[in-house]
Each structure stands twice: as structure tokens, then as C-alpha cells.
Amino acid sequence: MSHEDQQNRVLGFPVSTLGLTALLCLATLGQGGAEPTSQLVWHAGVLALVLVELLRGPDTAPRSRPAWLPLVFLGLYALVAWVGAFLAPYGFAAWLFLLDLGSFAVVVWLAARRGPALLSRLTLPLLAAASIQSVWFLIQRFALDQMRPAGTFLNPNHLAAWLVAILLLAWSGPLLQRRLEASGRWVLPVLSAPALVALALIGSRGAILGLFSGCCALLVLAWHGLTRPWRRRLIVVGILVVLVPVVGVAVRQRHADPFRYQRVSIWRASLRVVADQPWSGSGPRQFPYVSRSYQFADGDGPLQFDRGFRSTHSDWFRVPSELGWPGAAAVAALAAAIAFEVFRRRKTLSPTKCGAVAALTALVAQSSVENLSTRPAVYLLAAALIGPLIARRERSVVPWPGAARALTGAVLVLVFAVGDVAPYLAWRDVRGLPEGRLDHIQAARLSRALHRNPVHPEYWRRWGSHLAGNGWDWNRQAYHEAREAAERAVRLNPTDAMNHRALARIEAVACETLFGDVATRRRASNSYGLAEELDPYNPFIPLERAGFLLDTGDAQGAMDAARRALELEPESISPRLLLAAAVLALEGNAGRDRAQELLDEAHEQAARWGTWEGTGPHADELLRLNLTDEARLRQALSSLSPGD
């Protein structure tokens, strides 16, 4: 321990260690650290810890540092990510990915600087945090009557992964040392009991896989140092612990779940992304937009595409899907380098280090069926466990010049202010604003958000919708400004169908209220077409396109678009009504029988699915009979006589 660490201690712990512990606990708040406010707070915590390291006085005493091999491959992965971010069509999302990666790397570095002693110091505070999370989970489940609570996480499976890792870390020492300290004979069981109950109630299959893998890793690492009776005891304990979440899964399996094995289809779709873009993938954090082109029918109920996916549901597939095979190779090399460091020191691994390896093994195993990398609480915990495992003692340290430290700190503060604080304030400005025309105060908030974060396409899309409004109180100047805002949103993220759809809506409103010409109608139709290419399984885009074309005199185009929507959702009602109206507009009396047939089919579908509880607005709009559209269609039919 350095002289400085000896001087800067609180309650016997170095200040930097307490700061890192607080960071790991803070990252669990707000959807496991992913909610914007929570993310800003823990990002500020990471920055503060780095500044403490940079601005402390020169320390030439030997210190720990990461081993060079894992560091090289971490740098290689960072390089692949930077290249992918540079090439990504949606730059702001790629920037957020780089912030996550940078935070992970910094925590690895900070944890390595603290050395192996960090693990034993983290154990009790993290177990206490796990106990608090579990108690809150139980309150949510039994007092607040939430069926699938998740503590302060968003997903109960992610909470389960975090709990499993901490339990393995906390119990490895006492089990492998074959004794409990006097102070821990009641502390560890009391703090662990709520976590075990929470795991049983969550019933996560991924947690079972992780817990089983972690226990196996612990046994392999400790096998040669244990007597035969203790080997048996550890095996029995491991089996009993794994059975805890198995009970929860058995209870969950009693309820029918048509989407229980849908992950397999999602994984196939993810591999199709890799097959189409093997070298680059979709780009960092671009998968939610690219995935729209790889949707599949869910096989449940009358609607085929009312359930989509925006994540790979496996980090093993996320990496190649977003960064291509180079990214997957870099991650595999990094994992191999860490494993090599552990294997090289296997004979000298302390019980707490064995617990860290077991916890990491559990996280890696569960990440095969979950996107744990979307939860900062989970990947920061992994970083804090990796650091001490790859730490090496430096023989000597060359002091870093004070001017270089100050300059680096200033740059980091500037990056935090521009790339983190400003986007957060912009998000606060936009939060809660409605779509479409805004009042004066709301428009001022949106304008302020655009100045604070001018690279966010959603804000420009909203600005264009605000300027267009309903089309009855705007002019040509407002049209040009709205169109430019929507086009900028498209440029900032050309892979998002919503941006093209917003541009199409502005052109559609302009065609119906300002120009009424063929050129504007064609521009709107083309933008709808681009949106449909990016989101080809969304029936609402061709449905909206059909309504616009019908209103502006292109009955043939409306008929084609309505047919496309009906092909996507054959049981739906809305496309039938639009198709019937388009048939009458195009064929007149010759299409009367076909239009009546479509209207009758719509009534049959409404009677069949009227009581079906669908997936929210998607089902409401497609499976409910619109009385206004029906009345308009009946009026058009009544104006034609069968004998004409």
C-alpha cells in the first residue's frame, strides 16, 4: 500500500476504495444505472474517482496496475468500437456506447490500482446492498402486488444476475477457508437470506445457468486444495443453492407462456444481421433500428407482428451483431487474456479471487441468454471484479508530470460537460412533451433541448412536427423549416423508419393544405416507401400511406398500400376498410361488390376478435371497427346502385 493510501483512510478503508464501493452501489439505482438521471450520477462518480487519481500528489511507491496482455486486448476492442462508432449511421447512440465502454475500462483500471485487497473490502458492502435490493423486491411483490418486480432494476433477470454474482463473491471465502469469522457467523447468513428468497421468487432460468456455472468454476478452482469430505460438502451446498431458483422456475413454468422459447428466433434473426454485415455489424447501439428489418411472426393471436424485438437477448450475439466478427474476435481475445492471467496464477489464487472468478463465470454464462451489458450495475460490477484478477505489482513508478495530469483532468471535465451533462439537460427539457404542435412554453423547452444536444434526431423530428402542426395554421416558410428539421433528423439517423415517416407526414400535410400538386404527393409517398423499407413488417406505415394517397387522388397507390398492410396482418380490419374505399374510388360501381365483400369481412373479423385482449394500441387500431370509416364507406356504397 502506498504512503498516500495509508494517510487517506476512512473507517480503516482507503478513500478511493470507498468511492469505488459507493459507485457500484449507486449504479444499481434507476433501472440498474440505465435511467438518464442515474447514469449522469454514476458517470459523475467515475469522473470524480479519475480526477482523484490524476490530481493526487506524485507517488513513486510500488502500486498495482493491469497486466499488459488484457490491457492490449481491451485496447483492441476499444479500437474496433471506435471504428464502428465512426462508421455508425446514428452517431449519438454510438457515442453513448463509447461512454459505457470508457466507464467500464476506467473501473477496471481503478480496481486494478486498488489490487487484490479490493475484493475483500467490497464483499460486505455489496452484500448489504444486495440484501436491501432483495427486501425492496419483496416489498414490491407482496406489499405493492407487482407480479414481476425488479427492485431498482428494470428487468428481474438482470437483478438475479447481480444477486448471484455477489452471493458467489461473498460466500467463496468462508466456504473455501472452511470457517466463518466470529463477526460473520450471523452477518453473512442474515444478509444472504433475502437474496436467496428473491432468487427463488424471480425464477430466472438465466440465473440458474449462471449460478450453476459459477459453482462449477468455484469447485474447479478449489478442488485440489480441499479434503474429500469438504469436496462433498461443497457439492451438496452448491446443489442446494442452485435448487433455490429452480423452484421459482418450476412455479413459473406452470403458467402458459407462448413466448417462452422466442429467444431462439431472436438469435436466428441476430445471426442474419451478422451474415448481412459480417465485418461491421449494425454498429454500436444501432441494433434496435436495424432489427426492424428482421422481425418475424410471433405465432400468437390474430396479429403476426404485434410483438417485435429491439435487442439480441444475448450478449454473445450482441457483440457480433453490432461490431461484426472483428468485435467478437476482440472480446473473445480479451476473455482469453483474462482467463490466461487467472490460469497462470491458479495456485496462488486467494479464496476471494476464486469468488471473483466464480462471479464472473456466472455473469458470462447468463449473458448468453440475456443482454446484461445493458445494465451498468452489472457490467461495472464485472469491471470491479476483473481489475484485481489482472492486477500486477509494479516495481517502480515514473511520476506523471503535474501539468499533464491537470490537462487530462480538464479534458475529461469538458467531455463530461459537453457529452454527458448537456445531453442530459436536453433530455430533461424534452421529457413529457407531446408530439405535434406545442404551446409557447413547450416550444421554448424543445428549442433549448436542440441547442444543448443538436445531434439527437428525435428532437429535430419533434421540431418538424411542431412546425407542421395540423397543417391549417402554417405557411410556406414554416413548411420549409419543418421539412429541413425532418431532413436533418433523417441525416442524423437514416436507419430509423420513424424519421422517414415524420418527413413523409410533413410532406403529406403540405400536399393536402399548401400545394396539392403531384410532386409533393410523390415526395411524401417516397418517404413513406423509405420508412417501409426500413420497417417492412410494420402495417401502420403502408396503412398511413394508403390513407394519404386516397385523400390526394391516387386511388391505385392507395389500393396497393392497403393490400400491403393486409398482407402483413391478414386478420386486421382497418386495411379492409381502406382497401374497400380505394376500390370504390378507382373502379366506381364496378368495384361495388368487392367493396361490400371487404366491408362484410371487416364485420366478421370484428365479431371474431372483438373480445380478444391484444397488445395495446397495435391491436386496438387494427382489430377494432372504426365507426367513422365504416359510415363513410356505407355512404359511398349507398350512392351507387347495383344496376348502374
Domain hosting 527: range is: 438-538
Residues 243 and 187 in one domain: yes
Helix crossing, 440-452 with 457-468: angle to 10°?
150
Distance separating alpha carbons of residues 578 and 224, to the nearest angstrom: 73
Least confident of 168-177, 188-197, 253-262, 336-345: 253-262
- Considering only CA atoms, which of 59, 106, 2 is closest in space to residue 402? 59
Residues 6+ positions from 191 with CB-CB distance below 8 Å:
127, 128, 130, 131, 170
DSSP secondary structure string for all residues of 146-190: -SS--TTSS-HHHHHHHHHHHHHHHHHHHHHHT---TTHHHHHHH
Determine, yes or no, domain membership for 185: yes
The CA-CA-CA angle for residues 92, 423, 30, to 5°, reads 100
Residue 190 cell numbers, joined: 442474515
Mean pLDDT confidence for 348-372: 92
Residues 6+ positions from 214 with CB-CB distance below 8 Å:
164, 165, 168, 358, 359, 361, 362, 365
Determine, yes or no, domain membership for 124: yes
Determine, yes or no, domain membership for 553: no
Measured in Å, how far apart are the chain's first and last C-alpha atoms? Answer: 98
Determine, yes or no, domain membership for 422: no
pLDDT tens-digit readout, 463-496: 999 999 877 788 899 999 999 999 999 999 999 9
Residue 216 cell numbers, joined: 462449477
- Confidence band of 311 (pLDDT split at 50, 70, 90): very high
- From 411, 446, 477, give the residue that closes a domain: 411
Strand blocks (E) in 4-80: 9-10, 13-14, 64-66
pLDDT tens-digit readout, 126-182: 999 999 999 999 999 999 988 889 999 999 999 999 999 999 999 887 877 766 554
Distance separating alpha carbons of residues 253 and 273, to the nearest angstrom: 31
Residue 437 cell numbers, joined: 404542435
Query: Cβ atoms within 10 A of the Cβ of 487, count?
Result: 17
Residues 6+ positions from 163 with CB-CB distance below 8 Å:
130, 133, 134, 195, 198, 199, 207
Distance separating alpha carbons of residues 28 and 127, to the nearest angstrom: 13
Determine, yes or no, domain membership for 427: no
pLDDT tens-digit readout, 11-63: 445 666 888 999 999 999 999 999 999 999 999 999 999 998 887 755 555 57
Average pLDDT score over the chain: 87
Distance separating alpha carbons of residues 59 and 294, to the nearest angstrom: 55
Distance separating alpha carbons of residues 258 and 615, to the nearest angstrom: 14
Residues 196 and 82 in one domain: yes
| Residue that wins the pLDDT comparison between 396 and 354 | 354
Residues 496 and 573 in one domain: no
Torsion 619-620-625-630 (CA) sign: negative
Mean pLDDT confidence for 255-271: 76
Do residues 479 and 465 lie in contact, with contact meaning Cβ atoms separated by under 8 Å?
Answer: no
Residues 451 and 367 in one domain: no
Distance separating alpha carbons of residues 515 and 511, to the nearest angstrom: 5
Torsion 204-206-212-218 (CA) sign: negative
Residues 287 and 141 in one domain: yes
- From 538, 556, 587, give the residue that closes a domain: 538
Collapsing DSSP states into helix, strand and coil, what is residue 372?
A: helix
Residues 477 and 574 in one domain: no
Residues 211 and 279 in one domain: yes
- Confidence band of 351 (pLDDT split at 50, 70, 90): confident
Specify the CATH number for the domain of residue 480: 1.25.40.10
| Residue that wins the pLDDT comparison between 374 and 3 | 374
Main-chain phi, psi angles of 399, to 5 degrees: -60, 140
* pLDDT value at residue 148: 86
- Confidence band of 625 (pLDDT split at 50, 70, 90): confident
Residues 399 and 445 in one domain: no
Determine, yes or no, domain membership for 463: yes
To the nearest 5 percent, what fractions of the chain are helix, strand and coil?
75, 0, 25
Give the number of C-alpha atoms closer than 13 A to the C-alpha of residue 121, restricted to the C-beta side: 23
Determine, yes or no, domain membership for 615: yes
CB crowding 573-586: b at 16 or more within 10 Å, else e:
bbbbbbbbbbbbbb
pLDDT tens-digit readout, 199-245: 988 988 889 889 889 988 888 887 776 667 766 767 776 676 777 66
pLDDT tens-digit readout, 487-541: 999 999 999 999 999 999 999 999 999 998 999 999 999 999 999 999 999 999 9
* pLDDT value at residue 478: 92
pLDDT tens-digit readout, 441-456: 999 999 999 999 999 9
pTM, two decimals, is: 0.91
Residues 195 and 104 in one domain: yes
Determine, yes or no, domain membership for 433: no
Residues 140 and 71 in one domain: yes
Distance separating alpha carbons of residues 549 and 525, to the nearest angstrom: 8
Torsion 488-491-492-494 (CA) sign: positive
Main-chain phi, psi angles of 9, to 5 degrees: -130, 145
Residues 392 and 534 in one domain: no
Distance separating alpha carbons of residues 158 and 163, to the nearest angstrom: 9
Main-chain phi, psi angles of 14, to 5 degrees: -60, 145
* pLDDT value at residue 12: 47
Residues 398 and 500 in one domain: no
Total structural domains within the chain: 3
Please name the residue that has the C-alpha cell 407462448. 258
- From 411, 446, 479, give the residue that closes a domain: 411
Mean pLDDT confidence for 301-320: 90
- Considering only CA atoms, which of 603, 586, 599 is closest in space to residue 638? 599
Q: Do the bridges between strand 9-10 and strand 13-14 make them parallel or antiparallel, or are there none, so unpaired?
A: antiparallel
Looking at the chain, the whole-number percentage of residues with pLDDT higher than 70 is 88
